[in-house]
Amino acid sequence: MRQASLVTAGSQAPPPAKPAGEMPTEYPFVLPRGYVDEDGVVHRDGVMRLATARDEIAPQSDPRVRENPAFLTVLLLASTVTRLGSARSVDTYVIESLFASDLAFLQDLYRRINQAGHTEADVVCPNCEHAFCVDVAGEAPGES
């Protein structure tokens, strides 16, 4: 699988040329807060892959989704988040254990890469009204 080349905040450069027939299928991200595992280790950096039709269809028959339609989000993220820090695996327990802000972040990222096809968003500074592009997938801490 090919990893996406994400544009950093403020950059207006076009994405690099890709060989014919090749497209990004994996998108790195950094959670706003991070998943805290049972040992107290915080996991923030991860990778989400593009969803397949099976990812979207299979959960529809899951009894947990029939009982609570909101659980669909948990199943979709558990199947498409392929890595989260050094956590051994990303399953429904991990997704359910995320802080609400991290869950919302991943839901938005899922929507952006699977519906819009990118992780950049145009934003405007509320103070100076300068318009610029932000990569909502985030960057590693300390990078700019």
pLDDT digits (tens, 9 = 90+) for 16-49: 445 556 778 999 999 999 999 999 999 999 999 9
**DSSP labels, 43-91:** EEEEEEEPPPHHHHHGGGG-HHHHH-TTHHHHHHHHHHEEEETT-S---
Q: Which residues contact 85 (CB under 8 A, 6 or more apart)?
A: 34, 35, 41, 42, 43, 44, 45, 46
Instruction: Say what the pTM is.
Output: 0.68
Q: Which of 83, 79, 35 is nearest to 59 (CA)?
A: 79
